[in-house]
Amino acid sequence: MATMKNFETALKKLEETVEQLESGDLPLEQALKVFSTGVKQAEICRESLKDAELKVQQLLRQDDGSFQRDTFDDI
């Protein structure tokens, strides 16, 4: 659950970063700092999604090493 919270927090910060950069109101030096922060938040999101994917794969792995494939149409 902590990973999900980290993901949600990082995603929110990333969205705020994008809004700041898209506004065009930041001086170059500040824009570079904000961009750097955004890159770090994007990396946190990417790592969180990678971890979630690995967990899903572990949950769906069969005893023979194959993966159980389910559709999500019924959800």
pLDDT in tens, 53-66: 888 888 887 778 77
List the domain boundaries for the chain.
2-19+27-60
Cβ within 8 Å of residue 4, ≥6 positions away: 48, 52
The reported pTM is: 0.73
Cβ within 8 Å of residue 68, ≥6 positions away: 60, 61, 62
Residue 5 has a pLDDT of: 80
Question: Does residue 10 or residue 58 have the better pLDDT?
Answer: 10
**CA 3 – CA 34 distance, rounded (Å):** 23
Largest separation between any pair of C-alpha atoms in the chain? 57
pLDDT at residue 8 tops 70: yes
